[in-house]
Chains A and B, each alone.
Chain A
Amino acid sequence: MYTQSMDLPGQVQLGGDSAEERRFQARVDADAKIEPRDWMPEAYRKTLLRQISQHAHSEVVGMYPEGNWITRAPTLMRKAILIAKVQDEAGHGLYLYSAAETLGQSRDQMMTALNAGKAKYSSIFNYPTLTWADVGAIGWLVDGAAIINQIPICRCSYGPYARAMIRICKEESFHQRQGFDIMLALSRGTPQQKAMAQDALERWWWPCLMMFGPPEQDSTHSAQSMQWKIKRVSNDELRQKFVDVTVPQAELLGLRIPDPQLKWNAERAHYDFGAINWDEFWRVVNGDGPCNRERLAARVAAYQEGQWVRDAALAYAQKQRDRARKEAA
């Protein structure tokens, strides 16, 4: 989901069959964690590095759609909550960059790839936040989907990633509840406010289902990731779970999910739902969504405008070290 382009075709890297790899796989099969300095197959390292860095980038870019509404939040309390939420997203990005760095790539290298448009992040953040209700819909649906995706990653075979995920999941619940609380207030408000909530749900529903990534038959990467216990539950299973838990929540809000084929299937004990527009998904993943260019431009501008701060802090630290050395001499 946050790492959905892991499933892009042509990225399959199958494990080998050396004695080292067999020992590695045996450890993974026994549910032992792999730590940074342990031996690991090169393809495992690369897959994880790509997945964790994509996940980190998603947290960072995910601040933009919501940051858009900080100055326009309807009350001071909502504003304080939104600032805290966006700050958490920055924190999540940092935990994940730290986890990725243990695999041998520096944060600057990852940031450079993101700013150059060479790295992927979740397609969901390339959609615009047109009204305040979108902030509610993001918390409720996008963070709700994130929780469903991230809970299994807490059991990922790579220790630093699993630990980062545990910390993130603890904080994510607040994100979803504050979003639902916004939707609840709007749906109990004036007819205009309720219509605003309905409109946000209609625009975010399908992109949220796409967050889980393409169906399994199109995802050649999954088998290897499952074997390595990087990925533990399939895209389709997670998507189904999201639909099953979210439909009753929408009913509670008195809002209508924009899918005429959505229907409880007693035999499967799951909701059936309509076909997802995968053409739209691939378009957004490949850079042509409604806000891809805007997000990247905002990211690059923030990086460049912060350069003097980073330089000044380093120069100050150097000056302090020089002074201490001179005083010691």
Chain B
Amino acid sequence: MIDQREWPLWEVFIRSKQGLDHKHCGSLHAPDATMAIKLARDVYTRRNEGVSIWVVPSAAISASDPDQRESFVEPMADKIYRHPTFYELPDELKHM
């Protein structure tokens, strides 16, 4: 039988060092945001892995559809002129 009183699921994001982005590192169950942050500290930063923690209810995350990955990502693949390496420049050119 499933326990109907299960704690909701949260996604955990950790900033490993001041100046870096928060990065997704996993998920956990917690009754509320305050507890989720405390539990995230114990579960994901037992060895100084973080200086800051974000938690987000998993249900609040919207994501792109993996089945449409190709059509979703493909339009970016053929625009090679967006990269600086696309341009052939004379060897004499400096500082560019």
Contact = CB atoms under 8 A, between A and B. Distances in A.
A311 B5 contact: yes
A317 B63 contact: no
Interface in A271-329: 310-311, 313-314, 316-317, 320
Interface residues of B, number: 22
Given A35-B66, A87-B46, A112 B5 contact: no
Of A35, A107, A164, chain B has the most CB atoms within 10 Å of the CB of A107
Contacts of A164: 26
Interface in A89-115: 91, 94-95, 98, 101, 106-109, 112
B41 to A, nearest CB: 11
A167 to B, nearest CB: 8
A39 B67 contact: yes
Contacts, number: 54
- State the majority secondary structure of interface residues on A: helix
A107 B27 CA distance: 12
B7 A95 contact: no
Contacts of B31: 310, 313-314, 316-317
B6 A106 contact: yes
Nearest to A116: B1
Contacts of B66: 35, 37-38
Interface of B: 1-3, 5-7, 9, 26-29, 31-32, 35, 42-43, 46-47, 63, 65-67
The 3 closest A-B pairs by CB, nearest first: A317-B32, A313-B31, A317-B31
Interface of A: 35, 37-39, 84, 87-88, 91, 94-95, 98, 101, 106-109, 112, 163-164, 171, 310-311, 313-314, 316-317, 320
